[in-house]
Amino acid sequence: VGVASFTSLLIQKIGDGIKPFTNLLSKILFPATLAEKSGIAKRAFAGACASTLKYAVPSVAQQLIEDTTALHIGDKNSQLSCAILLKNYSHLASDVASGYHSVILPVVFVE
């Protein structure tokens, strides 16, 4: 939880200056969200991932959202991760997520 919280706070503090590193951060935080078994830690990593999405360049944002929505056909852990990530995207990066409603909304209704 500490690493995820620190990462979220760091991203918020740096703001737009984090853009060059969003690809790397998303490649670290997304799998960490999936691998985490603790609900609290999973939510913390999902929040950090959403903070990354907020400042991501469009290509990274699209890839992150596509990877997230693809999780809904996986096992129970993948489905739970998908739901938590999408919830965090809608709360913390709503401006970015709103451009992908055509991809996100069908997954939300399936879950």
| pLDDT one-digit tens code per residue, 94-106 | 999 999 988 988 8
Residue 73 CA to residue 11 CA, distance in Å, equals 30
Task: Give residue 102's domain range.
Answer: 2-110
- Tens digit of pLDDT for each residue in 41-80? 999 999 999 999 999 999 999 999 999 999 999 999 999 9
Residue 62 CA to residue 5 CA, distance in Å, equals 24
Q: What is the pLDDT of residue 108?
A: 79
pLDDT band of 109, cuts 50, 70, 90: confident
With tokens 């799998």, the residue in question is 31
Q: Is the pLDDT of residue 110 over 90?
A: no
pLDDT band of 24, cuts 50, 70, 90: very high
Residue 12 vs residues 71, 82, 83, 99: alpha-carbon distances, Å: 27, 23, 23, 21
Q: What is the mean pLDDT of the chain?
A: 94
Q: Region 76-91: what's the mean pLDDT?
A: 95
Q: Is the pLDDT of residue 111 over 70?
A: no
Domain count, the chain: 1
With tokens 């489905």, the residue in question is 79
Contact status, residue 3 vs residue 33, Cβ threshold 8 Å? no
